Amino acid sequence: MAEKEKLTIVVFSGELDRALAAFMLATTGASMGMDVQMFFTFWGLNIIKKNEGSIKSKGIIRKMLNFMNRGGSKRLKLSKFHMLGLGTWMMKGLMKDINMPSIDEFITMAHEMGVKLIACTTSCGVMGLPEDAFRSEVDSLVGAAYFLGEARESKVSLFI
Amino acid sequence: MAEKEKLTIVVFSGELDRALAAFMLATTGASMGMDVQMFFTFWGLNIIKKNEGSIKSKGIIRKMLNFMNRGGSKRLKLSKFHMLGLGTWMMKGLMKDINMPSIDEFITMAHEMGVKLIACTTSCGVMGLPEDAFRSEVDSLVGAAYFLGEARESKVSLFI
Amino acid sequence: MAEKEKLTIVVFSGELDRALAAFMLATTGASMGMDVQMFFTFWGLNIIKKNEGSIKSKGIIRKMLNFMNRGGSKRLKLSKFHMLGLGTWMMKGLMKDINMPSIDEFITMAHEMGVKLIACTTSCGVMGLPEDAFRSEVDSLVGAAYFLGEARESKVSLFI
């Protein structure tokens, strides 16, 4: 059997709109039979943080950062027109109106379709995020070398 | 005859500076004999909206969104230093000073060089954009599967 | 001997967090034996400007732009949570805490590992940046055609 073609996406941004683009591409790729990996780094880690509970990180500065930058798929904002929540709330309504999944649903769907959700260890280190800060759908924590190794075997690599 | 090498660009952002980078790469690629496709999605759709006329979309929220997010190549702003229009106006002056085309001119030029300008149907659905919201240079409306199909045959794929 | 696999990165953004991602990938690629090129354009040029001295550009508007947009690796800000400098200062502390190099150190390190640092001539033209505005680690000034020529021979090309 021929090997599957690979699609590798770095998800650097933590905004609702960019997360949406990333999951649209990832699930479309999976439905086309591609082997898809999403590599979450920096603000992108917010997308795959648990929605409930608080993160226990060490040191006052990391505690502050994780308080401000709480994350979780339900807390993502639009990169434009957030307008104290009004714009983001409107966008979620528009998505529902055309039966588009929420980011929360997209994560579960992507996972069930075999998309690998991967967190960047280095970013976790900077931000003081322990492994249990992430949802159960997250497959593993790996470094940049793993990503590049996969990317160079991929037909398509994108940085979002 | 050998097939042309493909360059595929997702234009997600709707800012003047990123639009400029996308069109610089697209027209350069075309001038090097590459087969270039630009896939406009989300805020990127603003770039290829008509400058004149208003968009008739259904539902009060989509009407509001299209009023706030009016778009058109002449309304794009810088991502930094917009400064209530002053920075953007200055940047346009600097571009003209070195004889760089405006985005408006870049769209026509790209189209004439054979660059395919494509709008993402899903984003059009979310935002309630009908096909006639776009300029005549836009070739078609397609989905993410079309983009990925092209991207995996491309030498270079970029997400801007 | 087999040719080295190429990694080509367009660095469009001038923020601390995106610069960090770019240098992490570039130095990791180099350590894996890849032939890495970083192509700095638009706001990304700020990263490789000299930290000292002022830039002599022609015309009042370019002088103003280079005053506002001073750049240099030590002046980069976070794209989120800059908070008048507090967030950026905190992030630099967290990076130091896990022994991550600063951007300044990353530039020197990348250069010593053989990563090519390249500035985009067109952006330099728009912004009125003379060649001596850049650090000594910068290898050359080239146009978009050079970048695309390299990108289409690359295993991985990213736009950051």
pLDDT at C144: 94
Which is more confidently placed, B51 or A30? A30
**Please, what is the average pLDDT of chain A?**
90
Residue A124 vs residue C82, higher pLDDT:
A124
Alpha-helix residue ranges (DSSP H) falling in chain C = 16-31, 60-68, 86-97, 103-112, 121-127, 144-151
- Chain B residues closer than 8 Å to C156 by CB: none
- Find the mean pLDDT for residues B144-157: 95
A79 touches chain C (CB under 8 A): no
> What is the CATH T-level fold of the domain C6-159, as seen in this structure?
Hypothetical Protein Ychn; Chain: A, (3.40.1260)
CA gap B121, C75 in Å, rounded: 41
Least confident of B130-134, C2-6, C10-14: C2-6
Q: Return the percentage of chain A with pLDDT > 70, whole number.
A: 99
List the single residue in A with minimal CA-CA distance to B68: A81
Q: Is the pLDDT of residue C1 over 70?
A: no
Percent of chain B past pLDDT 90, that is, above it, reads 62
Mean pLDDT computed over C113-117:
97
Domain ranges in chain B are: 6-159
- Average pLDDT for A82-103: 84
Would the pLDDT of C62 be above 60? yes
Q: How confident is the model at residue B90 (pLDDT cuts 50, 70, 90)?
A: confident
**Most A-contacting residue of B47, B82, B152, B155 (CB-CB within 10 A), to test interface:** B152
> What distance in Å separates the CA atoms of residue B48 and residue B36, rounded to the nearest whole number?
16
> Which chains touch C (3+ CB pairs under 8 A)?
A, B
Token pair of B108, please?
């026509």
Helix, strand, coil percent content, chain C, rounded in steps of 5: 50, 15, 35
* Cβ–Cβ under 8 Å, residues A138 and A119: yes
Position B105 scores a pLDDT of: 95
C43 touches chain B (CB under 8 A): yes
How far B57 CA sits from the closest chain A CA (Å)? Answer: 12
Nearest CA to CA, how far is A23 from chain C (Å)?
A: 18
- When mean pLDDT is compared across A36-40, B53-57, C91-95, C142-146, the lowest value belongs to B53-57
By Cβ distance, the residue of B28, B95, B160 closest to C148 is B28
The band of A2, judged by pLDDT with boundaries at 50, 70 and 90, is low
Which helix (H) or strand (E) segment holds residue C21: the answer is helix C16-31
Structure tokens at B154: 């491309």
Residue range C11-59, pLDDT digits in tens: 999 999 999 999 999 999 999 999 999 999 999 999 999 988 778 888 8
The pLDDT-based confidence of C2 (bands split at 50, 70, 90) is low
**Phi, psi for A135 (deg, rounded to 5):** -65, 165
Put simply, whether B37 touches A (Cβ < 8 Å) is no
Q: What is the pTM of this model?
A: 0.92
Interface chains of chain A (3 or more CB pairs under 8 Å): B, C
CA distance C130 to C56: 8
- Give the pLDDT band of residue A112 (cuts 50, 70, 90): very high
Mean pLDDT throughout B1-5? 77
More confident residue, C2 or B49: B49
Say if residue C158's pLDDT is above 90. yes
Q: Is B98 exposed, middle or buried (0-12, 13-18, 19+ CB in 10 A)?
A: exposed
Q: How far is A62 from chain B (nearest CA, A)?
A: 28
Secondary structure of C23-43 in HEC code, one letter for each residue: HHHHHHHHHCCCEEEEEECHH
**What pLDDT, on the 0 to 100 scale, is given for residue B141?**
95
Q: A69-73, B19-23, C32-36, C56-60: which has the minimum mean pLDDT?
A: C56-60
Contact B127 A31 (CB under 8 A): no
Q: In this model, does residue B2 exceed pLDDT 70?
A: no
Contact between A125 and C98 using a beta-carbon 8 Å cutoff: yes
- Least confident among B12-16, B81-85, C139-143: B81-85
Query: Any idea how long chain B is?
Result: 160
In sequence order, what are the beta bridge partners of B157?
Answer: B8
| Range from A32-41, A104-113, C46-55 carrying the lowest mean pLDDT | C46-55
* pLDDT tens-place string over residues A4-17: 999 999 999 999 99
Residue C99 confidence (pLDDT): 87
Q: Which of A18-22, A99-103, C8-12 bottoms out in mean pLDDT, i.e. has the lowest?
A: A99-103
pLDDT of residue B1: 52
What's at C128, amino acid-wise?
G
- Binary contact (A159, B154; C-beta < 8 A): no
ipTM here: 0.90
C-alpha B38/C-alpha B113 separation (Å) is 13
Res. B136 pLDDT band, cuts 50 70 90: very high
State how far residue B118 is from chain C, nearest Cα, in angstroms.
Answer: 20
B132, two tokens: 């006639």
Distance from CA of C106 to the nearest CA of B (A): 24
Residue in B with minimal Cα distance to C127: B94
Which residues make beta-bridge pairs with A117? Answer: A38
Size of interface A-B (CB pairs under 8 A): 68
